[in-house]
Amino acid sequence: MDLGEDEFTVGRPHPMIDYSLRNKLIVSEGKKPDTAVLLLDVVLGYGSNPRPLDDILPAIGEAFGSNASLSIVASVTGTETDPQVRSVVVAGLEKAGVIVMPSNASACRLAGEIVRRLAKK
């Protein structure tokens, strides 16, 4: 689900800035027993959320706490010179149990592979 689509941004800041809608979906979808994997992207830099870890980690923790078989895969788009500092965000996500991949494409491939392997069981 692309939270940047017009239907999700009318009358509110883009979800890349305001994580409230994203967090609600992380929790609600993560709690569902048939949800195997959540795929997230975290975009850093000016004009994006200034405190991504502070805003997203509680939702991730709640989702993991509700679904022991859940995998969360993410990519982080940014650099060390961004105000949020890419390595800090990656480390925080990994500490929370998120699998962080080096690109959006590799994160998508991994999420797909997780689903494929689970479908074979």
Helix/strand/coil (H, E, C) string of the chain?
CCCCCHHHHCCCCCCCCCCHHHHHHHHHHHHCCCCCEEEEEEECCCCCCCCHHHHHHHHHHHHHHHCCCCEEEEEEECCCCCCCCHHHHHHHHHHCCCEEECCHHHHHHHHHHHHHHHHHC
Cα of first residue to Cα of last residue in the chain, in angstroms, is 26
Q: Provide the residue ranges of all domains of the chain, joining segments of one domain with +.
A: 6-120
Task: Please tell me the number of Cα atoms within 13 Å of 85 on its side-chain side.
Answer: 4
Q: How many CB atoms lie within 10 A of CB 114?
A: 16
Of the candidates 38, 37, 43, which has an alpha carbon nearest to the alpha carbon of residue 14?
A: 43
pLDDT at position 18 is 77
Give pLDDT, residue 20: 87
6-120 placed in CATH 3.40.50.300: no
* pLDDT value, residue 13: 65
pLDDT score for 4: 57
Give the per-residue pLDDT at 26.
95
Whole-Å CA distances, 37 to 29, 85, 86: 9, 26, 23
User: Mind listing the pLDDT tens digit of every residue in the chain (121 residues)?
Assistant: 566 566 666 666 666 767 888 999 999 999 999 999 999 999 999 999 999 999 999 999 999 999 989 999 999 999 999 999 999 999 999 999 999 999 999 999 999 999 999 988 7
Give 43's strand partners: 77
